[in-house]
Structures are given as C-alpha cells and as structure tokens.
Copies of this chain bind each other. A is one copy, B any other.
Amino acid sequence: MVKIKDIADKCNLSVATVSKALNGKSDLSRETIDFVLRVAKEMGYIPNASARLLKTNRSYSIGVLFVDTTASGLEHEYFSSILNSIKTAAEDLGFDITFISHNAGKTKLTYYEHAKFRCCDGVIIASVDFKDPEVEALVESDIPTVTIDYDFDNQSSVDSDNIAGLRDIINYLVKNGHKKIAFIHGEMTSVTQKRLSSFYRECEARGLNVPEEYIKEGLYHVPQVSGIATRELLELKDRPTCIIYPDDYSLLGGITEIEKHGLHVPEDISVVGYDGIRLSRLMRPVFTTYVQNTAEIGKAAVSKLVEIIENPKIALPERKIIEGHLQEGNTVKKIN
C-alpha cells in the first residue's frame, strides 16, 4: 500500500507538505499541490481511514442500530426502506454506515461499547426494544444519536407522523360516509399509543361513537392475528362498516378472512391499511392505506445526526415529525 511517506520521497517533499496538499490546505503553492496530487494519483495512493481517525477523532462513520427482534426488522419493507434512505443520505454526505451489534471478534460488547470501539461519529437507532437499558445507555452517552419512531427525553428523534396518519384516515372515512369504524391496532408501543389517541380524538371530534368492541389488539405484521380479530368484528351484531388495520400485511390477513365469510371488499365492508408498501399498490383492489414517508424519515435522521456531529455544542435536541399521505385506493366504499 502506498502511503504519504512514499509520495513525499518521490516528490522530495516532507510528509507534512504532502499531507497538506492532499487535504487541500491553503498555505501551499499551487504548483506543489498539483504536483503532489498528480504523483499521488500516479502511485495509486489511497488514504487510510484508521490512521486518520486516530489523529482526528473523526471516523466519518455512522452506526446503525437495527435489531431484528421479531425477525422482521430488516425484512420488513418499512425498515428496509428506511435503511435504504439512511444509506443513500449518509453516502451523499460522505459518511459510511456500519451496523452496531453485540459482538466484536470473540468479545461481547454493549451497544455503546461497540459504537465506541468503532469510533462511530454518531448512531441512528431504529427498530429496537427502546426499553432495553443498553439502548438507553447509548442514547444518554457522549455519542450523538437520533432515534426513529421513539422519543427519549431531551434527545433528537425523527418520527413518522402517526397522529396525522389516523387523522387523515378518519377524515377520509367520514367524508365517505362511514360512522362505524373499527380499529385493529398493533401491540402496545408508543407508536400504537399515538395512533390510538389520534383515532379516539378524531372520532370524538366528529361525534362518532366508538363501542369498545370495535377496538381490537392485534400484532404488527402477523396477518393471522388480524384475521382472527376481523372474524370477531364480523360476528358482532352491530358490525362496523370499515376496519382499520395495523399495517398492509395485516390488512391482507383481514381480506382473506372477510372473503372466507363470503363477503367482498369494498362492497360489503371497507378496509384501510397502514404503511403503503409496494404491495399495497399492486393488489386489486388497490389498498386504501396511509403511506409513511420512509425516504424522508431516513434522510431527516441522517441530516439531523450529522448536524449534531458537526456542531455538538450548538445543535439542539429536535423532534422531526414526517408526514406521510393517504393513498386513496379502492378498498373503501362510499356510503351514505
């Protein structure tokens, strides 16, 4: 591997001068800079990130904490899509991405230790158990962090706008004449709580009565569970005219169940999903669903994190809330 010393020798210059030239420092003659750059190129010089980091304490590397709890972290389109936008945004800013885990060689490390071990300039935290003490420790450490879809006190985060999500959905349903709206929600996370509150608030604001039996707890991304909840809803004396699901996969489970009962979507009953994954546009009927803006979420997380990294003193904790939009598919019937 050719190093600065080699270039210096070839150019009859000192390593300091070559280093400066390579880094475009101003106090060098134009010719020297050009000369060094040319020779460096000729010799196939590639800087060594580790050596540089050791001096500068800047790694230009962002850790990503993405724990595949339910074996559906990375595999779920919502998260792989966010990861993809994180990757793109980070690359654009010249940062590399590396996953934070518990292992380094043969030794076990905490998330914080791992991030330190790799000298990450900052860490983006998504899709983990936010109650894990290790995650909390990381967030409260000296390493800049940005969390996605979870807010820690006095820390920066980027949240998909779940309040707006349910607001827009209810809005749309009411506009289409629905008054009896059921809601199958996912397991009780902070995201779910936001959706639920928003659901209740919007219904109340419109004078809609929400019988207790219209609210069912399902599980995110487990269509079977939503299928069961759907069955229970269909068997009610006073059946809802529309069911809102935790996500698009769950919606699929709901539809399957509905059809088993000989009913049709949306003629007999309307359904609404959440996420707006690709599938939702490919199905017939196209899903009516709330599309989360994953591209923007990843981008916002990176840009906030880099802001903190570059300006640790000045940067203020900030919550960015990213709105999505309602995809008006064909799974909701207009009724009077």
On A, residues with C-beta under 8 Å from B are: 1, 46-51, 53-54, 59-61, 68, 73-75, 77, 80-81, 83-84, 87-88, 91-92, 94, 96-99, 101-107, 109, 113, 116-119, 223, 249, 252-253, 256, 259, 278-279, 282-284
Contact = CB atoms under 8 A, between A and B. Distances in A.
B253 A60 contact: no
Contacts of A283: 252
Contacts of A223: 282
A132 to B, nearest CB: 17
A49 B104 contact: yes
B116 A60 contact: no
B68 A75 contact: no
Copies of this chain held together in the complex? 2
Nearest to A118: B49
Contacts of A91: 99, 101-103
A21 B202 CA distance: 63
A259 to B, nearest CB: 7
Contacts of A49: 50, 104, 117-119
Contacts of A98: 61, 96-99
A50 B83 CA distance: 25
Contact of A74 (B84, B113, B282, B284): B84
A54 B84 CA distance: 31
A107 to B, nearest CB: 8
A117 B48 contact: yes
Contact of A80 (B1, B74, B104, B109): B74
10 nearest A-B residue pairs (beta carbon): A50-B50, A80-B80, A94-B105, A74-B84, A98-B98, A91-B101, A46-B116, A50-B53, A46-B113, A252-B282
A116 B282 contact: no
A37 to B, nearest CB: 11
Contacts of A97: 98-99
Contacts of A105: 60, 94
Given A99-B87, A103-B92, A256-B284, A77 B74 contact: no
A216 B313 CA distance: 60
Contacts of A51: 50, 54
Contacts of A60: 104-105
Contact of A117 (B46, B73, B83, B249): B46
B284 A259 contact: yes
Contacts of A252: 279, 282-283
A292 to B, nearest CB: 14
Contacts of A99: 87, 91, 96-98
7 contacts: A46-B109, A47-B104, A48-B54, A49-B50, A92-B103, A256-B282, A256-B284
Contacts of A116: 1, 46
A38 to B, nearest CB: 16
Contact of A249 (B47, B53, B282, B284): B282
